[in-house]
Amino acid sequence: MAKNHIFGLILIVLFPFLREISGSTTLAPAKQTKVTPLPIPAPPQPEETSSYIKVEASVYFPEEEQTDGSPFITADGSKINGQNPGRHRWLALSRNLLARWGGKIDYGDSVKVVGISPQLDGVYVVRDAMHRRIRNRVDILVGSDDNVMGFWKDVKLIRM
């Protein structure tokens, strides 16, 4: 055993580079490495304001005179709360804007409406479609008790 220790010491003296691979407790100098931070993706934002759709806007009530024979069921099959329809924050789009008819927005998509009023501007979910003769229009679902009426031009619709 003494021979092995002597032989090991000779090797270490003669071959200093073996010290790193011999399991010695002496640490080898650390190699410097460049640390590159990982990119963190930004949270999803609404599409750029340059990609908004210019539309006209109006409001509608869930009544047969303003809808079809089933005023409390939207085009995508959602059921409207008859007591407070405005709380849903739902809207109808003209068919030319809906993906089903060649547009870029689909049922269930969230859209931001800007340019009506502080009360009606905001984020809505697309749940309904308008009559085929109407183009480039948003129809916001409100209740008859909400006392909201009107027609607005130059409204911006931004897909979220």
How far apart, in Å, do the first and last CA atoms of the chain sit?
Answer: 77
DSSP 87-139: GG-EEEE-GGGBGGGT-SB-TT-EEEEESS-TTT-EEEEEEEE--TT--SEEE
Q: What is the mean pLDDT of residues 90-99?
A: 94
Give me the CATH code for the 49-159 domain, please: 2.40.40.10
Q: Which two tokens stand for residue 149?
A: 């009426």
Mean pLDDT score across all residues of the chain: 82
Give the pTM.
0.65
When pLDDT is cut at 50, 70 and 90, the band that residue 5 belongs to is: low
Q: Among 68, 28, 17, 57, which Cα is nearest to 157's?
A: 57
Is 59 within 8 Å of 90 (Cβ atoms)?
A: no
pLDDT of 19-31, one tens digit each? Answer: 555 555 666 666 7
Annotated domain spans of the chain: 49-159
